[in-house]
Chain A
């Protein structure tokens, strides 16, 4: 006879579920609208998605207020966990999504945006990521991760080019492998501790003094590998350039921001207690991974001939740079992680949108990929404003002061110094210098070379008012966000600190 479970509605704390629910309702609404009346324009769906994301953001802000007032909230049998990290993560996810979804409003028609399902999948994906960051239950994290990933694969494939199919299948295969690794790692930890909640796992492990170190190692290693796939850390990064190249620039830019912040938050929850409890080997492995990721990705980025692939490798390098924050593990470092990622997302948004507006549907003769460096040769002479904007984004990504990303770099390297990782700080700094080369390379092409095959070249072929607005916004943010760095640090810092990270 099963015992009857008495659950009071209040104890469920439904408010914790509110933001994700809104995103899911939005997705369902889009499908229903399509069923009622087909053939509606993509602009409608973009705006519906925007509206629901706005509501979503409002709900996240609501839970931010609750967190600020009452501290960490648990809900749904303690499966949901709304702490500062969850709130910050959701804000970044939703805001970044709101910046990227209008990129569908291109002046040229692209296959994927004619399907309302694309936008439904987009919202499902966001809900998945939100679940992922708002929980410390390994199963819910897994479900969130898979929801998001399974929505993302078809979105890539919908781009309807042979390279997109390749990218989607590659991403799917790698994602499936990562999922397997994640499941296996969680299983080992569950077998060891009898719990699937991270804080309980931490408690049980600490209570028996890490007696079964061997098993802890195995479990953590598998989880690390799983997240390394998602974060594209070397040597699990191999899918990144191909997938970015195959997807549209808009989606590639999106993939370089949002899935990673979700994975970073889970990595923070999972690995920090392990590092803090003195599991030395994990520190060593992470250290090596961070250094190798930064350095190797930079070197690979140097030899790329396609700007999008270069940006893919550069985003791998940035991920390695930020992963250093997880390794350092101080409050300052974790604050730096969010600060860096917010500033990075604006610069990357700008760079990928610039690629996106210059994307021609048919490749010009003699052009092997969408965005080879030669395409931008002499761009300053034909379209000076676009070239200047692109240069601005490149300099921002290179971390040149006073542009936005520099302050993130500064804060993170500062965290490394104050966390006692002086050598790491030096490596991070030198890697920024190496990265300077490939960002400058594009500037060299744009400003110092003469146009090649310029006939029929249009750098604004895809531009519409909304895309231009987004570029303008990203440029404005890159230029002037340094004025907001101080409030950002305080805002992020209070959330991070109050969550105990």
Chain B
């Protein structure tokens, strides 16, 4: 069973979703929780069975799908994808467990389970087409979640979300086809009979060395797909609508997992495939990331709606992830992968917290609140911890990731790291200001006086997140170590594949591997 654990992880939720059509709608939530819990336990088992000493891909499975065109079902995990997969199953479980939605609950849970399949699939896929299949397929459940259970502008928001990402990823598809064709040409040159083979396998692609010019073009093509998903400035405009209109569960999954697809894909595709282009475009991308960090932090400060504050702050932190990724060294990339987990935990929790208050008051305007700390002390405490984690207080989960990301980029540019660092201060400002408006001062609104504090179901979702946020802040090693091992392999691969001297000097070689080779 362990040989096929990834396939089970991918298809178990989908199968359960199909069977779910038969379950009665009153029992659907229990069914959803059970399925998601089983999936989560399976993903923990994956972690347990995962060998930290192997830095490469593990649990590989391969089935040829279209051999004539080099497409196969190829999945595997390494330290980079392992924790994102666990996070995806964790948040689906939490999301279903804390679900307060009552309309068409059965459809919602079936949609969520399908979404889970696509999420796990994206992070496990090692074949570009398989990756693309799950990547695109994830749009449909999200379209439905926003479009059916969302706010008043839901249709506009969901269609905008769909079209934006769909357009971007089709450009990426052309890039993928070009890569596969390049592989075909390369193998044709090597083969004695001059007939090449197509391949979409990432493991095959990793062996290719591309001309610098070609790297540029392909980098840009892939960039469109990934940057829209992240979303990077200036492609971020769909996100505030999506978050603003999505129901709580939609925002949680979107922020915690779906956005990570973009940053993960940068690390999985762009960096190792196009090392020279990555080096050459490091500063342009970093500038976009810094604009994104500072600009969205300022926008967040100007928001009146607490959910929008969280949404923009989430975009701002995504900028730090991009910055860490494009530090192109082990510290930066490890930090950015860790920050993906951290960002997932923190922003997921914050969206859940916003959902809690929205369920009670049906408004998200901060001006409607004030003095909530007196009425809902537990809620205020958890919100406070999560907000501190979000601004990157030391000993919280975000701090580790942000620190490593910035440290990594500090080696490339002091000035730009400094700029990005100021955004953390701005982040503290808008978060604290929002917190002040909502929780401190006098209770001004009559409706707020009788609000119930957080209930058991909600605690069930929030307590684990709080524990993780603190635990991994204090002791990040269990997660950091496997990530670090895989990132070292990645950076070494980039160093070896780089063509230009400049790129070789920017991307450090890992000492460990060199000594091994010497033996």
Contact = CB atoms under 8 A, between A and B. Distances in A.
A411 B184 CA distance: 14
Contact of A413 (B137, B158, B159, B173): B173
Contact of A411 (B69, B140, B147, B155): B69
B181 interface: yes
B66 A401 contact: no
B167 interface: yes
A426 B159 contact: no
Contacts of A417: 174, 177-178, 181
Contacts of A414: 69, 177, 180-181, 198
Given A400-B140, A436-B166, A448 B171 contact: no
Given A401-B132, A401-B133, A440-B162, A486 B177 contact: no
Nearest to A445: B155
A413 B169 CA distance: 14
B68 A489 contact: yes
A110 interface: no
B75 to A, nearest CB: 15
B453 interface: no
B143 A440 contact: yes
Given A417-B177, A418-B181, A448-B148, A440 B171 contact: no
Interface string A413-450: 11001100010011001101100110011011001110
A402 B69 contact: no
Contacts of A402: 133, 137
Contact of A447 (B67, B68, B139, B147): B147
Given A395-B140, A447-B147, A430 B171 contact: yes
Residue from the set A417, A482, A483 with the largest chain B CB neighbour count within 10 Å = A417
A300 to B, nearest CB: 18
B144 interface: yes
B11 to A, nearest CB: 13
Interface of A is mostly: helix
B305 interface: no
B170 A433 contact: yes
A441 B163 CA distance: 11
Contact of A486 (B66, B148, B181): B66
Contacts of B177: 410, 413-414, 417, 425
Interface in A378-414: 395, 400-402, 406-407, 410-411, 413-414
Nearest to A426: B174
Interface in B217-248: none
B150 to A, nearest CB: 9
A226 B277 CA distance: 48
A99 interface: no
Interface string B354-389: 000000000000000000000000000000000000
Given A401-B133, A413-B177, A436-B163, A429 B68 contact: no
B154 interface: yes
A401 B66 CA distance: 14
**Interface footprint category on B:** 35 or more
Contacts of B460: none
A350 interface: no
A437 B163 contact: yes
B129 interface: yes
Nearest to A427: B174
Given A413-B173, A440-B143, A448-B154, A430 B167 contact: yes
Interface residues of A, number: 35
Contact of B69 (A429, A444, A486): A486
A433 B166 CA distance: 6
Interface string B163-192: 100110011011001101100100000000
A490 B170 CA distance: 26
Contacts of B181: 414, 417-418
A475 B69 CA distance: 24
Contacts of A433: 163, 166-167, 170
A448 B158 contact: yes
Interface string A467-501: 00000000000000011011001100100000000
A6 to B, nearest CB: 48
A377 to B, nearest CB: 12
A426 B173 CA distance: 9
B236 to A, nearest CB: 18
A8 B439 CA distance: 101
Given A401-B133, A422-B178, A407 B162 contact: no
B190 to A, nearest CB: 17
Contact of A410 (B68, B129, B154, B158): B129
B282 to A, nearest CB: 25
Contacts of B173: 410, 413, 429
Interface in B122-142: 129, 132-133, 136-137, 139-140
A432 B136 CA distance: 13
Interface string B61-72: 000111111000
Contacts of B139: 400
A429 B66 contact: no
B148 A426 contact: no
Contact of A444 (B129, B147, B174): B147
B68 A426 contact: no
A99 B486 CA distance: 53
Nearest to A433: B167
A425 B148 contact: no
B174 A489 contact: no
Contacts of B166: 433, 436
Contacts of A441: 159
Nearest to A435: B166
Nearest to B173: A429
Nearest to B129: A410
A448 B144 CA distance: 8
Contacts of B184: 418
Contact of B159 (A395, A425, A437): A437
B155 A489 contact: no
B240 to A, nearest CB: 20
Given A407-B66, A414-B181, A400 B147 contact: no
Interface string A158-173: 0000000000000000
Given A400-B136, A425-B177, A430 B170 contact: yes
Nearest to B171: A429
Contacts of A437: 159, 163
A485 B67 CA distance: 9
Contacts of A430: 167, 170-171
30 contacts: A400-B136, A400-B137, A400-B139, A400-B140, A401-B129, A401-B137, A410-B69, A414-B198, A417-B177, A417-B181, A418-B181, A422-B174, A426-B171, A429-B170, A429-B171, A430-B170, A430-B171, A433-B167, A433-B170, A436-B162, A436-B167, A440-B143, A444-B147, A444-B158, A444-B159, A447-B148, A485-B65, A485-B69, A486-B64, A486-B66
Given A433-B170, A486-B64, 12 more contacts: A402-B133, A410-B129, A414-B69, A414-B177, A414-B181, A417-B181, A433-B167, A437-B159, A447-B147, A489-B69, A490-B68, A493-B68
4 shortest A-B CB distances, which residue pairs?
A433-B167, A401-B133, A429-B170, A448-B147
